[in-house]
Amino acid sequence: MLSQESIENYFLNLQDEICKGLENADGKGKFQEDLWKRPEGGGGRTRIIANGNVIEKGGVNFSAVSGPCPDFLRKEAGLKENEQADFYATGVSLVIHPVNPMAPIIHMNVRYLKAGNLEWFGGGIDLTPHYIFEEDAKFFHTHLKKVCDGHNASYYPEFKKWADDYFFIQHRNETRGIGGIFFDRLSATDSIKIEDRFNFVQGVGNSFLQAYLPLIEKYKNKPFTEANKQWQLLRRGRYVEFNLVYDRGTKFGLLTNGRTESILMSLPPTANWEYANQPEKGSEEEKTLGLLKKGIEWGELEKEN
């Protein structure tokens, strides 16, 4: 029998493991912990790292909150108009903004939610490079496919498409990055137990360091120019636009009276918006913009080139 305590303990341990791995990779930056409580019920453990050798700003957050179902969640859970119900949500959410513009931003969220008599898992992991290097995209997606295939052969194609559609900045007509996987409302079915869903979520969470540490190690000492840094600021601006306009996790936190500082830790330390920026023809910046679109099968690029 899957218990809330076992789920919560897993997420607490995952936060510890990821923070330790990132500190070791950075070599300088250390996570600062901030414990908080939510008046309506529950609380969390926010951990922030800044001004490191590799990580300019990052956060790895744990939360476990509960209370009466807010209106938007009542609808999502299919509760009747006058039906009284509580909700419980727990998980780990993280975003890492690297110093070097050649290294990518990464985001991961793994979570469990119970509302009334319904319970499900959700989450995902995606990569947002400032500069898209196809070999890195192939590495990242191959890694995610392996994780997914270890649980269900349908997961990777389904969740990759979901990520392409979800991490899309509609008003820019471009994806936030190279996507990854995104999933929600993974509940028990006639053929899949809720424990199986939890095993998959654990597989995603446990794979984070394997997916990201090779990339930051690869680029942490690469030289870059001031022009590269300015491009990084512009791409961070796109990241901000998505998180504040479209991101469901941001909206969920704010609508459930979550801790604002912890919710907005996903935003970069600095960003820029330049009017009608147009990259130089044939530049790496132009190439990156050309790859910010849905439906790219990154594992197939090597065959095409």
Write out pLDDT tens, residues 208-219: 999 999 999 999
264 or 258, which is more confident: 264
Average pLDDT over residues 169-197: 97
Q: Residue 258 — pLDDT band, cuts 50, 70, 90?
A: confident
CA distance 184 to 89: 13
Question: Is 141 annotated in the active site?
Answer: no
Whether residue 24 is predicted with pLDDT greater than 50 in this model: the reply is yes
| pTM (predicted TM-score) | 0.94
Residue 1 to residues 4, 111, 196, Cα–Cα distance (Å): 10, 18, 12
Give φ, ψ of 154 to 5 degrees: -85, -15
| Count of Cβ atoms closer than 10 Å to residue 254 Cβ | 13
pLDDT for 260-277, tens place per residue? 888 899 999 999 999 999
| Residue 305 pLDDT greater than 90, yes or no | no
- pLDDT (0 to 100) of residue 304: 42
- Would you place residue 46 in the very low, low, confident or very high pLDDT band (cuts 50, 70, 90)? very high
Please say if the pLDDT value at position 1 is more than 80: no
pLDDT > 90 fraction of the chain, expressed in percent and rounded: 82
The per-residue pLDDT for 300 is: 64
Token pair recorded at residue 165:
């559609």
Query: d(Cα 287, Cα 285) in Å, to the nearest integer?
Result: 5
Per the model's pLDDT, the better-predicted residue between 28 and 84 turns out to be 28
- DSSP designation for 265: G
| Least confidently predicted of 1-5, 11-15, 135-139 | 1-5
Beta bridge partners of 69: none
- Domains in the chain, please, with CATH? 4-304 (3.40.1500.10)
Residue 301: pLDDT band (50, 70, 90) is very low
Of residues 76 and 238, more confidence is placed in: 238
Are residues 43 and 99 in contact, defined by beta-carbon separation less than 8 angstroms?
no
Catalytic residue among 107, 130, 141, 151: 107
Query: Distance between alpha carbon 291 and the CA centroid of its chain, in Å?
Result: 20
Average pLDDT, the chain: 93
pLDDT value at 50 more than 90: yes
